[in-house]
Amino acid sequence: MSRSEEGTANPDHRLDIQIDGLALAQGPGGATHQSAGEDQTALTTQQGTPVADNQNTLSIGVRGPSLLEDFHFREKLFHFDHERIPERVVHARGYGAHGHFENYTSLQDLTCADLFQRPGEKTPVFVRFSTVAGNKGSFDLARDVRGFAVKFYTQTGNWDLVGNNIPVFFIQDAIKFPDLIHAAKVAPDRGFPQAQTAHDNFWDFVSLMPEAMHMVMWAMSDRAIPRSFRFMEGFGVHTFKLVNAKNEAQFVKFHWKPLQGLQSVMWNEAMKINGADPDFHRRDLWNAIQSGQFPEWELGVQVFDEAFVDRFPFDVLDATKLIPEEEVPVRPIGKMVLNRCVDNFFAETEQVAFCTQNIVAGIDFTNDPLLQGRNFSYLDTQLKRLGSPNFTHLPINAPKCPVHLFQQDGHMAMRNPTGRVNYEPNSWDADVGPRESPRQGFRHHNAPEGGDKMRVRPERFADHYSQARQFYCSQTPVEQGHMRDALVFELSKVNTLAIRRRVVAHLRVIDAALAEGVAEGLGIDELPPPAEPARQPIRDLKASPALSILNNGPSSFAGRKVAILVSDGVSADQLGWLRKAVNDEGAEVVVVAPTVGGVHDSNGERVAADEKVNGGPSVLYDAVAVLLSASGAKTLAQEATARDFVSDAFAHCKFIAYAPDAMPLFRAVGLVEAMDAGCIALEDESSADDFIQQCRALRFWVREPKVKQI
């Protein structure tokens, strides 16, 4: 910091100074001002009036009372007092990005939706990822469902595909949604727990709602703790219709498949990530886009007809059910690329308003009762949050195609009808206002409906266990172990024994071994009787490999991060070999050092650090390398965070490259004898390549049983 030796007095009693090259002024009492130069933009009020002083309220005298006539102060505080809007009741913590969707081919045989007619056409999109249960200030790695909402700005209006990273839901009918969310959220008397379902209220509710058991299996799987937004699938959840120009309809389910591959984290790892970086998913998406590693997903469709609906053992209108991909393959129809971060988080990510009712011609609803309820609910929500029926005037919500209507006025209306005509029909000339268009207009698919008024669900909705069992049986043994551990952890936080026993009773219907493992983990000596199914489950459904994360991992390590722990004297050759191997794979190197200032390598060259060791724990990375000099290893062996760096990486089954000189650090955490084939000595250039090739498996899962015994 530098300061001019002498300030220059001026009529405003300010002292001109220079701090870090910035032109500032200091007024009475030491208030510091940054003044606009000749070529700089002047600060103004919301009315456009230039502001002379943004540091001091207008007052009578130096120590007198403030004046109400200070319109700049009044406006500034008024806006600040009202700059927060109600957060979403669910999906409050979200993160968004812009991009485009590109068609692979024309789908005119399936749908007349304009965005699917022309191969290669790009449609702008905005995507918002989110957690469900936590508030805006909660952490990213909660065990939770993730929202996956996409707004397509098509040439014929906005289409909102509002889905999740899990293809099923807890409930079948929207009338139960308030109960579900009340049970999952913080208890009303104590205001906790936040962003978690490990409490009595949630498990009490789902244990009394057998229809939730399928979703419970998904929520207790690794799907609920994704490594990144970039590495998770998305689903439209509901069954929709595709309607072509001949008014022929087929049923459809929408799927987003990440081209980066699927990946999740371990639960112990998730808890530590939340402590090290509660913005982990936000930062990951921001950094990926800013560095040019644009995330990509393929949009796929499962298309099926009435004949399939009739023979499928479950009702396709039941949102707690899915259609296995082995029965109806997912057909890729296009690719979405996210390539631009938001310019303003509030204006875009916070104010974006998704509504399931927003569809375009060629796409239509089914009678899924959960979808029907969502269509009603979302519009109400936007009025409450955004304060006006004119939320579609906000740029992030506004269609990018022409809009012509007679709706007018309301809070913050940014466009209104011009001229005398604000109604329809009218007898004025056609050029003074729009008219309905039977040829171009949206038409709902003409399907006959009839029946008595009743509060009842279809009989096939009553099978609550078959697909829950199918999902569990479709997981690898490693994933099944994680599900068992997740259930034990969550239910261990439930204080009421009757609730824990009720859940185990449901698990006995799903899988006997799972129920026994959970009961053992909870210390339940005598198993409760199995729950009585409303409809006997189908026990012989085939496993669906598509439901497993580990069976659908990536073929490369691209887009992942390798943390290299270094010290002074690190081998320049080893560091060079590893950097090249990582970069050639399309992954990223993060250098972690004892100080953020970096180290000097064996050639005396400065190696810049990205993180200090206590600020860059191994839980934040996909694989690690420990490249230390002999003296550096001895020093870091005395550093607790360096020991955690190695022990956590090993415990979380990550691949570890190491320099032979680094052994004192491994010895300090008692891992020398435990080191396995997932620990690769970096001895030459080929060993660096071997390390990255092994990293393509993401985790060395055969280590996990041994880790639990250490």
Q: Which residues are catalytic?
A: 91, 164
Q: How far is CA 5 from CA 8, 17, 65, in A?
A: 10, 9, 35
Distance (Å, whole) CA 369 – CA 239? 11
Which residues are bridge partners to 302 per DSSP?
253
Distance (Å, whole) CA 117 – CA 119? 7
Is-contact 355 150, C-beta < 8 A? Answer: no
Q: Which amino acid is at 238?
A: H
Within 10 Å of residue 85's Cβ, how many Cβ atoms? 13
Kind plus residue range of the DSSP H or E element containing 332: strand 331-341
Distance (Å, whole) CA 429 – CA 445? 32
Phi, psi of 669 (to 5 degrees): -105, 10
Distance (Å, whole) CA 566 – CA 625? 9
Name every residue whose Cβ is closer than 8 Å to that of residue 596 and which is 6 or more positions away in sequence: 609, 611, 612, 615
Is-contact 26 14, C-beta < 8 A? Answer: yes
Cis peptide before 193 (omega within 30 of 0): yes
Burial of 646 (0-12, 13-18, 19+ CB in 10 A): buried
Distance of CA 375 to the CA centre of its chain: 22
Instruction: Extract the tokens encoding 91.
Output: 């999906």
Is-contact 580 613, C-beta < 8 A? Answer: no
Strand order in the sheet with 656-658: 611-612, 588-593, 561-566, 623-627, 656-658, 679-681
In the block, which residue shows the tokens 């000749």? 38
Nearest to 51 by CA among 33, 78, 29, 77: 33
Kind plus residue range of the DSSP H or E element containing 631: helix 630-636
Work out whether strand 331-341 and strand 94-103 pair parallel, antiparallel, or are unpaired: antiparallel
Q: How far is CA 470 from CA 216, 233, 506, in A?
A: 13, 19, 14
Distance (Å, whole) CA 461 – CA 441? 35
Phi, psi of 324 (to 5 degrees): -55, 140
Distance (Å, whole) CA 85 – CA 352? 12
Phi, psi of 231 (to 5 degrees): -110, 30
Kind plus residue range of the DSSP H or E element containing 32: strand 32-34
Distance (Å, whole) CA 371 – CA 378? 11
Q: Which amino acid is at 122?
A: K
Question: Cα torsion at 415, 420, 422, 426 (round to 10°)?
Answer: -140
What is the number of H-type helices and E-type strands within the chain? 19, 21
